[in-house]
Amino acid sequence: MFQKTSGIHIDGRKAMSKKLTMEEYFNPEYVYIHLIKNIGPLKATVAAGDEVKIGQVVAVREGFGEMNVSSSVSGTVTGIKKVWHSSGRMVEAIEIKNDFQNTMDPHIKPNKNIDSLTREEYIEKMKLAGLTGLGGAGFPTYIKYITHLPIDTVIINAVECEPYLTCDFSFILEYPEKLMKGLHHFIKAANAKRGVIVYKNYNKEIKESLQKYLHKYPNISLFEVEDVYPAGWEKYIIERVTGKTYTGLPSEVGVIVNNSSTAIVFADIVEHNIPLISRPITITGEGVKKPRNFFVPIGTKVSELVEKCEGYADGLLPTKANYIAGGPMTGRAILIDDLIVNDTLGAVIVKPFVEKLHPECLGCGKCADVCPAYLTPTEIKKAVESNDLNLIKALNANSCVQCGLCSYVCPSHVEITDAVVKAKDMLRKGAK
Amino acid sequence: MARFANGKAPYLRMADQDNKGTGIIMRDFLIGLMPVILFAWYKNGIAVFMDGNTTFFGMLYPLFFILAGAVSSMLMEAVFFFFTDPEARTLPSLMKKLSLSYAIIPGLILALMLPMYTPIWVLMFGTFIGNIVGKMIFGGFGHNIWNPALLGYAVIKFTFMGLINASGGYFNPSEMIALYDATAGSTPLVVLSSSPFSYDSIVAPFGNLWTFFVGMTPGGMGETSVMVMLVSYLWLSFRKVIKWTTPLIYVGAVFGLSWIVGALNGDAGLWFPVYSILSGGLMYGAVFMITEPVTTPKNPLGKIYFALMLAVLTVLFRFVGSLPEGVGTSIIVMNIFALPIDKYTAIIRANRWRKPAWFKIATLAVILIAIGLYAVIKAGNVYTDIILPILPFGGVM
């Protein structure tokens, strides 16, 4: 109770998608650019019939978190359609037909004056490239960097603590040098003193591939964390690396945390002006024949990627399987396998589930034991059932990070995470 | 395009694994009860038979008695399900309901607490009170306020004790011959509540402290042996059925408080606190009752507070009240307060000891310290020295 945040070990099941190396797949026939980013809506700047090039701006986000969103293929805009988004809703998207010419927008060219970039120029580049965190939350990256607080450390989160996911892992193995460069630029953009790359202790390959470049960047170091869930949580990482805790944002303790894939993409943004147009994704799970990782343009249909994995496993009954967008702990079940890759979608997992009879909550308290935020989910559930907003507030339900551990450990299969999420919803509505 | 099933995050669940889940927890709990059942059989059946004090059927009787408890507890719930739930009127559906309600456990625990010569119908009455009044009426498994077995035990204790004493009481045939005259038919705790604090009157009639540790003293069928309880404790903690800290805190606090009480009564020897934790159903309660998940607080801080509070009440009821059994009564009382304790400690934990929770921390601390002090002062018989001179309190407490 007085100890540091801790987690529990979860069987990673990552081996299945590590068997094959990452495949670059750049030629989908159609791409769909969602007109939503993070939680903000986008305004399309192209109309049906327009010719677009790779990297051309097709939509903008206005107001808080303003940024540009670029096309990921070259071709013709064929209209605006409603397609599935990883948030589980249908969202409007710009449909672009690929002409397979791969013509680049003129502004994509190697950057000359890389070493003399100022902090403002870095932030401008992030904004123009539409860079958001590729870890899963999709928070606009530049907002982290316009803080006025002094930043001491930039941490690269390469932990990938969710089971099944290996896209960050294989992306680093593909581009270790870009990761170091991206972090180097992040450090400069934040005026920080040092950079730390955090990875899980069993990922020896990451250590091996990055070690060759360490001598070039004396202010960058590696840091191992143990194999527990949720070791990829920002608070957990910062506590392990710096020993400090905070309540609001990491910049309070002089730290910025970025995902490893974000850093690799950022290296391209700085050196070649390539905006955020593609991302790594894992297609995996027991329901897929040959799970593997892809590097794909944003807007690709997931069903095409599943076909490249040789389709669903034999004997898979879709009605007895979940089709999960994101990691198995925090992701969301999508009803129809017609999903489009967006900037926050790190994985699609197809996984049959077990049907078992479960008794009621027996009150063992395992959920309270594992909670990394020291909450008591059973009490929050009771407060939700009795609609007691004050009690929910007193129980601090807002500090829940939705890691899903309480439902994971529950021996009675109680949907306890869901109850806490409901409590957070009630707080949000009640506050209005 | 395929349609997939819906579900709620997370999509990985421990409960889905073959060797995890509530069913496995309950199975492990039953395995943890096995040493106790075997000991009860040995002490009241096999050992007596080897001494030549009973017949072959007499040797098997303890097992039969424990089985009767299990069967009658299943029977009670089956009858309840049959009459209240229209879907549970065929045998397979009824069995499914019973297996998800874990009906066998309260009966077993109750039977192990009672003396062997309790009439079977009294045992059945106990399971009726425990399983139907204490459990099913509250909404079944997971909703009960009191530990069902303990509720049954308490009701039996308050209503049928004379009957039990008349039909043999706490002494099995061997103990009848060896101990009955020396102790005038009193069990250790009865002796404790009426005798001065001296080794010769409390421990010596039954042997020595080792006898108490092994458990060959008069008492309930399975609750006397600390040695066997330790085996169960290790197994249950190893399998993570119970939280290993709770019994430790409880036993430790009773040990400490008893030491103080003993010292205030003029004997600071270590034998008294050791005797305190070895005697009565204390270990049985510590391993099987205060760790029972449904009726105790759910968050770790609540469990710690619950155990401390129980220790204080156990000492109070043992030395101050007129009831010989402090453990059972204190657990029954504290079961009621499990809900508020859980709520308060959950708030304290969620705010990580910061300001919003200070009032709640203070409330809990004041209650614990006040009752603790009262118990020690009353049980330590230092009442006349400390309280009486303070005039407003004189005579009130």
> What's the pLDDT tens digit per position in A2-27?
445 577 888 888 888 888 888 888 88
How big is chain A by its Cα radius of gyration, in Å? 22
* C-beta atoms of B9 and A336 within 8 A: no
Residue in A with minimal Cα distance to B16: A354
Using CB atoms, pick whichever of B4, B12, B25 lies closest to residue A163. B12
CA distance B241 to chain A (A): 8
Mean pLDDT calculated for residue range A374-393: 92
Residues of B in contact with A410 (CB under 8 A): 13-15
Task: Look up the ipTM and state it.
Answer: 0.88
How big is chain B by its Cα radius of gyration, in Å? 23
Inter-chain Cβ pairs, chain A and chain B, closer than 8 A: 189
CA distance B37 to chain A (A): 24
C-alpha to C-alpha distances, A8 to A157, A233, A369, A400, nearest whole angstrom: 19, 13, 10, 17
Check residue B169 and give left, alpha or beta (phi > 0: left; psi -120 to 50: alpha): left
Per-residue pLDDT at B267: 74
Mean pLDDT of chain B: 86
Residues in chain B with pLDDT < 70?
Answer: 1, 180-186, 189-196, 268, 322-324, 382-397
Per-residue pLDDT at B196: 61
Mean pLDDT of chain A: 89
CA distance B20 to chain A (A): 7
Per-residue pLDDT at A2: 45
Q: Which residue has the tokens 């794909």?
A: A296
Using CB atoms, pick whichever of B12, B102, B347 lies closest to residue A394. B347
- pTM to 2 decimals? 0.88
- β-strand A153-158 against A255-259: which pairing, if any? parallel
Per-residue pLDDT at B395: 55
Mean pLDDT calculated for residue range A32-43: 86
Interface test mutation site (partner A, options B299, B345, B352, B361, max chain A beta carbons within 10 A): B299
What is the side-by-side order of every strand in the sheet holding A30-34? Answer: A30-34, A90-98, A75-84, A51-52
Per-residue pLDDT at B17: 83
Residues of B in contact with A306 (CB under 8 A): none
DSSP state of A145: H
A295 half-sphere exposure, CB direction, 13 A CA radius: 16
Q: Buried b vs exposed e over B99-128: b needs ≥16 C-beta within 10 Å?
A: ebbbbbbbbbbbbbbbbbbbeeebbbbbbb
pLDDT exceeds 80 at position A299: yes
* C-beta atoms of A376 and B349 within 8 A: yes
Instruction: Give the separation between CA A419 and CA A426, rounded to whole angstroms.
Output: 10
Q: Which domains does chain A have, with CATH numbers?
A: 1-19+102-355 (3.40.50.11540), 366-431 (no CATH)
pLDDT exceeds 60 at position A188: yes
- pLDDT digit string, tens, across residues A137-176: 788 899 889 888 999 999 999 998 889 999 999 999 999 9
- Which pair of structure tokens corresponds to residue B195? 């005798």
The B residues from 180 to 239 touching A (CB cutoff 8 Å) are: none
Helix (H) or strand (E) holding B77: helix B56-84
- Which pair of structure tokens corresponds to residue A190? 């934040």
Q: Does B291 touch chain A (CB under 8 A)?
A: no
Using CB atoms, pick whichever of A1, A312, A329 lies closest to residue B300. A1
CA distance B352 to chain A (A): 8
Q: Which residues pair with A84 in a beta bridge?
A: A90, A339
The A residues from 412 to 431 touching B (CB cutoff 8 Å) are: 412-413, 415, 417-418
Residues of B in contact with A402 (CB under 8 A): 9
Before B10, cis peptide (omega within 30)?
yes
pLDDT exceeds 90 at position A297: yes
* C-beta atoms of A353 and B96 within 8 A: no
Residues of B in contact with A411 (CB under 8 A): 14-15, 20-22, 24-25
The B residues from 22 to 51 touching A (CB cutoff 8 Å) are: 22-25
The A residues from 148 to 167 touching B (CB cutoff 8 Å) are: 163
Residue in A with minimal Cα distance to B300: A369
AA letter at B106: P
The B residues from 319 to 348 touching A (CB cutoff 8 Å) are: 342-343, 345-347
- pLDDT digit string, tens, across residues B157-170: 888 888 887 777 77
Residues of A in contact with B100 (CB under 8 A): 357-359
- β-strand A51-52 against A57-61: which pairing, if any? unpaired
3-state secondary structure of A333: strand
